[in-house]
């Protein structure tokens, strides 16, 4: 019997699912608990796969188990296989009813605060049966891992102009410059000529320096001799910045897309402060090259392009 036919008959989806669970939870006991099966059943499934493949898939450690180099290879393609099956089922459901489906999106804080809700609002009006699962990004590296492990369908946020690795592809949607903003009740809201140095003594709200915008602003302040600004608050939360802007006391920087799509309910003023340069990372979509775009994902991408058009004028 040819090798591939033997693998198809001996490697079962249930066993692969068990292996994925063991790798995820780090122990056979934890995997058995989450799968609602006995621990011997888990051990037998792993042992059977190791016998079939002729390779050890897991190393036993004091903390539990972890995949070997062979286990990591199997884990990569097992995740891909289950993702392909999930997408196949989703496509069947879509063909049966084009208004149904699920899309899993990971986006960063500013995009969730403005652009993404505008896209989802428009898309959900046209296709009310689609379910959107949105996760806030906790860092680019983690986002790439979630995409590769098929835990999300696409990433949305500030990206580099070229893919970070060969297995990812990027589509740029729009440039998103930052502007200096105060609340509508701020005394600065009535000023027509303002230099950045004029605001040195004001309490600022700034994103953390490890973010793209945060590091960008730090460079601007240093270039203007403003290393010792009164950074009253350092945070990445857009809702928190908006709440503090409403007091009329604070100054902050926000991406243009947040102002256009996410701040209709509050009073604010963009100050006429010229920033020397803008962040070099535009907003875009990142997807896997070797992954077929589902019909629902394509609907989202098309809608995102339309919503982004005003930002490119």
Rg (CA), the chain: 25
Q: Express as a percent the part of the chain with pLDDT over 90.
A: 37
Question: What is the model's pLDDT at position 302?
Answer: 95
Question: What is the model's pLDDT at position 3?
Answer: 57
161-183 tens-digit pLDDT: 555 567 888 999 999 988 999 99
Q: Once rounded to an integer, what is the mean pLDDT over residues 300-310?
A: 95
Mean of pLDDT over the chain: 86
Q: Which residues pair with 134 in a beta bridge?
A: 105
CA distances for 217 relative to 179, 221, 229, 255, 274, angstroms: 11, 6, 11, 12, 12
pTM score: 0.69
Question: What is the model's pLDDT at position 125?
Answer: 92
Question: What is the model's pLDDT at position 1?
Answer: 45
Question: What is the model's pLDDT at position 114?
Answer: 93
| Phi and psi, residue 27, nearest 5° | -160, 155
For residue 62, give the 3-state DSSP assignment. Answer: coil
Structural domains in the chain plus CATH codes: 3-76 (1.10.10.10), 99-175+282-312 (3.40.190.10), 178-270 (3.40.190.290)
pLDDT at 288 over 60: yes
Question: What is the model's pLDDT at position 92?
Answer: 78
Question: What is the model's pLDDT at position 37?
Answer: 92
138 vs 108, residue with greater confidence: 108
Nearest by Cα to 19 from 9, 6, 41: 41
262-272 tens-digit pLDDT: 887 778 999 99
Query: Starting at the edge strand that comes first in sequence, how are the strands of the sheet with 203-206 ordered?
Result: 230-234, 203-206, 251-255, 178-183, 268-270
Task: Decide the pairing of beta strands 268-270 and 178-183.
Answer: antiparallel
The two structure tokens encoding residue 286: 């990142």
């Amino acid at each position: 019997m040819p090798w591939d036919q033997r693998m198809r008959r001996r490697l079962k989806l249930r066993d692969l699912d068990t292996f994925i669970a063991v790798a995820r939870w780090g122990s056979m006991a934890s995997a058995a608990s989450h799968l609602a099966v006995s621990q011997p059943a888990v051990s037998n499934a792993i042992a059977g796969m190791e016998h079939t493949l002729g390779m050890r898939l897991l190393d036993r450690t004091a903390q539990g188990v972890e995949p070997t180099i062979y286990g990591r290879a199997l884990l990569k393609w097992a995740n891909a296989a289950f993702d392909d099956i999930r997408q196949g089922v989703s496509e069947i459901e879509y063909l049966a009813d084009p208004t149904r489906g699920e899309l899993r999106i990971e986006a960063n804080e500013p995009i969730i605060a403005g652009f993404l809700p505008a896209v989802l609002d428009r898309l959900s009006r046209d296709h009310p049966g689609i379910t959107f699962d949105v996760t806030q990004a906790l860092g680019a590296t983690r986002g790439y891992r979630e995409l590769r492990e098929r835990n999300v369908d696409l990433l949305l946020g500030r990206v580099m102009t070229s893919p970070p690795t060969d297995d990812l592809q990027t589509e740029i949607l729009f440039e998103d410059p930052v502007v200096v903003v105060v609340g509508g009740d701020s005394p600065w809201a009535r000023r027509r000529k303002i230099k950045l140095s004029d605001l040195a003594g004001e309490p600022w709200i700034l994103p953390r320096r490890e973010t793209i915008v945060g590091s960008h602003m730090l460079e601007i302040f240093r270039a203007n001799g403003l290393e010792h600004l009164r950074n009253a608050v350092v945070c990445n939360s857009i809702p928190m910045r908006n709440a503090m802007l409403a007091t009329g006391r604070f100054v902050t920087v926000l991406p243009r897309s947040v102002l256009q799509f996410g701040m209709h309910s509050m009073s604010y003023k963009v100050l006429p402060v010229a920033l020397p340069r803008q962040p070099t990372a535009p907003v875009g979509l990142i997807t896997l090259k070797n992954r077929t775009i589902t019909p629902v994902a394509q609907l989202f991408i098309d809608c995102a392009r339309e919503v982004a058009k005003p930002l490119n004028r």
